[in-house]
Structure 1
Amino acid sequence: MTHAVTIAPSILSGDFAALGGECRALAEAGADWVHVDVMDGHFVPNLTFGPQMCAALRPHIQGTMDVHLMIAPVDAYIGAFAQAGADVITAHHEAGPHIHRTLQAIRAAGCKAGLAVNPGTGIDAVAHLLDEVDLLCVMTVNPGFGGQSLIPAMLDKVRALRALIADRPIRLQVDGGVSLKTARSLAQAGADVMVAGSAVFQGGPEAYGRNIRALREAAQGVMA
């Protein structure tokens, strides 16, 4: 893989009583992006953040705010998340019948457009949308909760999507089960953005820098 690996810690794994401080600690620790998992309790079986939370976090995030909308419907909320300061907004292919329109609306709102696909969605669903996306997010677990193990078959999916992307300027993100044990295989398959929860947050803020370095080195095949 020729792309540098971007580490995008999921703030869902942070301390909810101190999320602003968590975002600052992540920046100091060398995180590239902050990934914000927005869940509605309908499209996925969990309820998390909304636009107001994203707006509150924005001043504390030095790099990219990567907003992952696990909600349905999506289109009515794109403007609010864009105004909240999202740099990337990712919508799920499965969340509505008009994903092409959704991706266009994200770009029209001034954000980079991400497209997420669940484990059960085939790569054929992506082929005709590549000109509308800046990021593809492969769910390597079923969305809704952190702490799940990577579904092994998703490695082949990542590999196939990397081949489909070819030389297009599209980032290939993996979300779910990213750890020191899986990072190298995911990077070799072609992933260049890794969303990580416990792999970054375990041990508290004093460990974030060490955890991020270890994850980056694991992805790059550097032996500890």
Structure 2
Amino acid sequence: MLKIAPSILSCDFANLGKEVNDMKLAGADLIHVDVMDGHFVPNISLGLPVVASLRKSTDMFLDVHLMISDPLTYGPQFADAGADMVVFHIESDSPPQAVIDAIKSKGKKVGISLKPKTAAQEVFPYLDQLDMVLVMTVEPGFGGQKFMADMCPKLEIIRRECERLGLLTMDIQVDGGIDNNTIAAAYSAGANVFVAGSALYGKPDYKKAVDELREHARSAI
């Protein structure tokens, strides 16, 4: 199933609740929340209080992407704060299995993210325990970067392995540089969940922007 995930990193933070619910009305499927600690990536974004506030103001599915060094400590806290899914980086300092177990113990969905230089095979041992794999199509830490088309083979490898294992409903998400010009390549390579920032929140008509992304993705079929 094709899903559109607006990234609030590009929204108007002075009107965060409204921005999120406007995307719901526009037909978005989930909200992507980027959490950066200034250590794992060279930038700092938002934290637990923002997720907790969002949870009170929307019923949208909150997909929280932890670009942090210690997801084992903070992942469960974001789950408690209201995240519906916690996605952490396999390159973090925390043991992946321990993080998966900690998030699942909270009754929440869990995903693993891969930086561009990390091989697809790194996630294979955990696939049967995951709800989603996130393939970064830019270097994590900053918005507005150009889509890395050379990540498409990685998407293909992960999708093929999921199919081999019978994980036919696995979500594969891409984050970075997704717009009307790049979404079709990612979709045809195996991604089905698309994080978009300025391609959505930078537009005057959110519904039109969401619809156009879907149409351009499906043009790859």
**Fold shared per TM-score above 0.5:** yes
2-side partners of 1:61 and 1:154: how far apart?
33
Q: Secondary structure at the match of 2:4?
A: strand
1-side partners of 2:127 and 2:80: how far apart?
25
2-side partners of 1:120 and 1:72: how far apart?
17
Q: Secondary structure at the match of 1:181?
A: coil
Q: CA deviation at 1:59?
A: 2.7
User: What residue number does 2:70 align with?
Assistant: 73
Measured against aligned partners, the alpha-carbon deviations of 1:133-155 in whole angstroms (never above 9, x if no partner) come to: 11000001000011111112101
User: What residue number does 2:151 align with?
Assistant: 154
2-side partners of 1:132 and 1:97: how far apart?
17
User: What residue number does 1:95 align with?
Assistant: 92
1-side partners of 2:101 and 2:179: how far apart?
33
Give unpaired runs (5+ residues) of structure 1: none
User: What residue number does 2:213 align with?
Assistant: 215
Identity %: 42
Q: Secondary structure at the match of 1:47?
A: coil
Structure 1 position 17 matched with structure 2 position 22 = no
Residue identity in the other structure for 1:220: R
Q: CA deviation at 1:97?
A: 4.6
User: Using a 3 Å threshold, how does the CA distance of structure 1 residues 97 and 53 change in structure 2: closer, same or farther?
Assistant: closer
**Structure 2 contact 131–171 (Cα < 8 Å) conserved:** yes
**Structure 1 contact 39–49 (Cα < 8 Å) conserved:** yes
1-side partners of 2:6 and 2:208: how far apart?
13
2-side partners of 1:134 and 1:58: how far apart?
21
Residue of 16, 34, 37 corresponding to 1:40? 37
2-side partners of 1:188 and 1:123: how far apart?
17
Q: Secondary structure at the match of 1:129?
A: helix
1:1-224 residue pairs with structure 2 within 5 A? 4-166=1-163, 167-168=166-167, 169-204=169-204, 207-221=205-219
2-side partners of 1:214 and 1:203: how far apart?
11
Q: Secondary structure at the match of 1:36?
A: strand
**Structure 2 contact 36–45 (Cα < 8 Å) conserved:** yes
1-side partners of 2:43 and 2:95: how far apart?
24
Number of equivalent positions? 218
Q: CA deviation at 1:79?
A: 2.3
Q: TM-score, normalised by structure 2?
A: 0.95
2-side partners of 1:16 and 1:149: how far apart?
23
Give unpaired runs (5+ residues) of structure 2: none
**Structure 2 contact 70–94 (Cα < 8 Å) conserved:** no
When the two chains are superposed, the root-mean-square deviation of aligned CA atoms in Å is 1.4
Residue identity in the other structure for 2:33: V
- Show structure 1 runs of 4+ deviating over 6 A: none
2-side partners of 1:61 and 1:149: how far apart?
31
Q: Secondary structure at the match of 1:100?
A: helix
2-side partners of 1:139 and 1:200: how far apart?
18
Residue identity in the other structure for 2:64: V
Q: Secondary structure at the match of 1:56?
A: helix
Q: TM-score, normalised by structure 1?
A: 0.94
